[in-house]
């Protein structure tokens, strides 16, 4: 009788770290532990044209990662020696500056932060928008690490001078276990400093904008064993000293593998705090309008082209918090139950979910959320349904942009916490006009992608094609033709509403500065 072998994957998301123990043979979850940490918003987008700020304390990451591992091992009853590898996924596009001893020099500027507008405009002037897009796969934007590092250089020069490396969240977590500072190609592709096809730092661009390439960590494939658990980390976590640590990848890339999108043409959508729709491709898809972006896949021969939006589940979470103060709808399930009472179209109410500015397809850090069409007849239920529909309508605009680049999408895998909602899945099917395919693991998909990278890294799996066996998907919802017709009209109204308000957003931001 064979002894079970496990892979421990960490997914450091926006709201906390989820540590998951996977059975390597089946991909099944043996146990999981979630440890929350806060996000600070020292300057929301209502306080200035520079865009909202969003930061996290890396000490909170360490507490969550170490505490989560201890709790996970305790509840799983698995011997530390049965863990073949530890691997990581984490939010992308952050900027954590650490000194030569690995000590953080300031809080991490995370993906949602939009403060570096002026620095992004500088990068665009120096390098040219088209050059940046074709070289890095990303359009010039304050969302990416490059602009955030320049912001620190401009506004906190002492911090910048003392910095030894700029790390992402999963890189820092891996450092805490191994003492090695490193990153992988997928996370690096969210910095806007990577030559996307060469999979190397874009040295000429880095020098041109005044950053030091020495600040950037060594790059590895996502399957690389960058080190092993140190004795000190073993004592803090309950892991066995010497356990291999695989660097893993950015959350977008890990979610792509965890969704089962490991072959050219595979498509999926993720709904978590943010949301995106992505397509695996053998070459970057270049959009003349630069609405979509391309990043490095965990698979060494693939890319994934995507359109991402800032607030999806985050917008729903905001509404839950807002309504909880009224003594009702304190959970997602309760809000879903309210929304299900309302017919498609939310009684003529539209919601624009731009609570943190917006990325694809608008790329406007000054964009704001809005309910449009409010009437005395509207209540909590209509607001709830309009929020779900608004996210789906926005993803439809991203799907249309991908299709204009030649993408052929016949069905869409759906993952993330939002995939648990049958109502939201049906709204997605109707708004996108596509059958929704539901993988066996939805909320754990990102962690599973990291685990597969770990398994390939230590030789448990031959390659990423194992995802086909570990991640079966069933057809969950199919479009309802009458609702599709109604939603076609509302998607058009949604896009027109944004365009009508676009100038207002900028003027409001200027007035509130």
Q: What pLDDT was estimated at residue 319?
A: 93
Residue 301 predicted with pLDDT over 50: yes
What 8-state DSSP symbol labels residue 34? E
**What pLDDT was estimated at residue 445?**
87
Based on its alpha-carbon atoms, the radius of gyration of the chain, rounded to whole angstroms, reads: 22
- 303-309 β-sheet, strand order: 293-296, 303-309, 275-281, 267-271, 412-415, 436-439, 473-477
Cα of 282 vs its chain's centroid, Å: 21
User: In 3-state terms, the chain is what percent helix, strand and coil (to 5)?
Assistant: 40, 20, 35
- In the prediction, which pLDDT does 2 show? 61
pTM of the model: 0.88
Q: Which tens digits make up the pLDDT trace of 248-300?
A: 999 999 999 999 999 999 999 999 889 999 999 999 999 999 999 999 999 99
What tokens does 373 get?
A: 């069409």
Instruction: Tell me what pLDDT residue 49 has.
Output: 40
Average pLDDT over residues 385-389: 98
Q: Which range among 39-43, 192-196, 252-256 shows the weakest confidence by mean pLDDT?
A: 39-43
Band of pLDDT at residue 46, cut at 50, 70 and 90: very low
Share of the chain above pLDDT 90, in %: 86
The region of weakest confidence among 74-88, 151-165, 329-343, 406-420 is 329-343
Taken in order 231, 182, 359, 441, is the CA torsion positive or negative? negative
Is residue 353 within 8 Å of residue 390, measured between CB atoms?
yes
Q: Which residue has the higher pLDDT, 41 or 66?
A: 66
Tell me what the mean pLDDT of segment 145-166 comes to: 98
Q: Are 110 and 125 in contact (CB under 8 A)?
A: no
Bridge partners (DSSP) of residue 108 are 56
**CA proximity to 57, closest of 41, 43, 42, 38:** 38
Instruction: Give SS3 for 400.
Output: helix
Cα(104)–Cα(241) distance, rounded to whole angstroms? 24
- pLDDT of res. 324: 79
> For residue 47, what pLDDT is reported?
40
Contact 184, 249 (CB under 8 A): yes
Q: How far apart are CA 185 and CA 206, in angstroms?
A: 16
How many residues can be counted in the chain? 513
Instruction: With cut-offs at 50, 70 and 90, classify the pLDDT of residue 328.
Output: low
Q: Please give the pLDDT value at position 329.
A: 59
CB 211 within 8 A of CB 146: yes
* DSSP assignments along 118-142, one per residue: HHHHHHHHHH-HHHHHHHHSS-S-T
Q: Between 442 and 383, whose confidence is greater?
A: 383
pLDDT at residue 323, rounded to an integer: 84
Task: Determine the 3-state secondary structure of 421 from DSSP.
Answer: coil
Q: What is the mean predicted confidence (pLDDT) over 106-125?
A: 95
Tell whether the model's pLDDT for residue 1 goes beyond 50.
Answer: no
Rounded to the nearest integer, the mean pLDDT of the chain is 94
What pLDDT is recorded for position 141?
87
pLDDT at residue 513, rounded to an integer? 60
Backbone angles phi, psi at 292, to 5 degrees: -110, 165
pLDDT digits 0-9 by tens, 363-373: 898 899 999 99
- Name the DSSP class of 328: S
pLDDT digits (tens, 9 = 90+) for 205-232: 999 999 999 999 999 999 999 999 999 9
Instruction: Report the pLDDT averaged over residues 432-437.
Output: 97
Sequence-ordered strand ranges (E) for 349-469: 350-352, 370-372, 412-415, 436-439
Q: Assess whether pLDDT exceeds 70 at residue 7.
A: yes
CA distances from 427 to 273, 357, 392, 399, 431 (A): 18, 23, 7, 15, 6
Digit-coded pLDDT (tens) for 196-206: 999 999 999 99
């Amino acid at each position: 009788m064979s002894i079970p072998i496990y892979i421990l994957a960490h997914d450091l998301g926006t709201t906390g770290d989820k540590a998951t123990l996977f059975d390597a043979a089946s991909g099944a979850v043996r146990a999981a532990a979630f440890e929350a940490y806060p996000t600070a918003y020292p300057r929301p987008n209502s306080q200035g044209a520079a865009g909202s700020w969003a930061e996290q304390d890396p000490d909170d990451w360490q507490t969550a990662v170490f505490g989560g591992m201890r709790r996970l091992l305790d509840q799983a009853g698995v011997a530390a020696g049965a863990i073949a590898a530890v691997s990581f996924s984490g939010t992308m596009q952050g900027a954590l500056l650490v000194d030569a001893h690995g000590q953080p020099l300031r809080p991490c500027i995370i993906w949602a932060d939009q403060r570096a507008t002026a620095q992004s405009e500088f990068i665009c002037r120096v390098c040219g928008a088209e050059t940046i897009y074709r070289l890095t796969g990303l359009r010039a934007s304050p969302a990416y690490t490059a602009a955030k590092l320049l912001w620190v250089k401009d506004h906190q020069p002492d911090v910048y001078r003392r910095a030894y490396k700029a790390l992402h969240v999963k890189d820092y977590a891996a450092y805490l276990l191994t003492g090695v500072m490193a990153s992988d190609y997928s996370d690096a592709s969210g910095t806007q400093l990577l030559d996307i096809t060469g999979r190397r730092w874009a040295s000429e661009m880095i020098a041109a904008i005044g950053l030091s390439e020495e600040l950037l960590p060594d790059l590895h494939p996502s399957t690389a064993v960058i080190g092993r658990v140190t004795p000190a980390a073993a004592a803090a976590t309950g892991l066995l000293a010497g356990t291999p640590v695989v660097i893993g990848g950015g959350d977008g890339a890990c979610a792509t593998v965890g969704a089962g999108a490991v072959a050219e043409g595979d498509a999926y959508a993720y709904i978590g705090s943010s949301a995106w729709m992505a397509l695996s491709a053998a070459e970057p898809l270049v959009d003349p309008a630069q609405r979509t972006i391309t990043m490095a896949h965990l698979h060494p021969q693939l890319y994934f082209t995507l359109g991402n939006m800032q607030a999806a589940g985050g917008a729903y979470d905001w509404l839950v918090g807002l309504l909880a103060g009224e003594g009702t709808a304190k959970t997602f399930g309760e809000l879903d139950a309210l929304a299900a009472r309302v017919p498609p179209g939310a009684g003529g109410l539209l919601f624009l979910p731009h609570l943190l500015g917006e990325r694809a397809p608008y790329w406007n850090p000054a964009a704001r959320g809005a309910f449009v069409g409010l009437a005395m007849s509207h209540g909590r239920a209509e607001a709830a349904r309009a929020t779900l529909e608004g996210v789906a309508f926005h993803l439809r605009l991203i799907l249309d942009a991908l299709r204009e680049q030649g993408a052929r999408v016949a069905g869409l895998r759906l993952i993330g916490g939002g995939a648990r909602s049958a109502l939201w899945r049906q709204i997605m099917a109707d708004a996108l006009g596509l059958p929704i395919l539901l993988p066996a693991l939805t909320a754990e998909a990102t962690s599973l992608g990291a685990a597969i990278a770990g398994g390939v890294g230590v030789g448990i799996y031959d390659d990423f094609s194992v995802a086909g066996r570990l991640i079966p998907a069933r057809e969950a919802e199919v479009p309802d033709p009458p609702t599709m017709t109604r939603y076609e009209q509302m998607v058009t109204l949604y896009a027109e509403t944004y365009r009508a308000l676009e100038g207002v957003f900028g003027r409001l931001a200027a007035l509130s500065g």
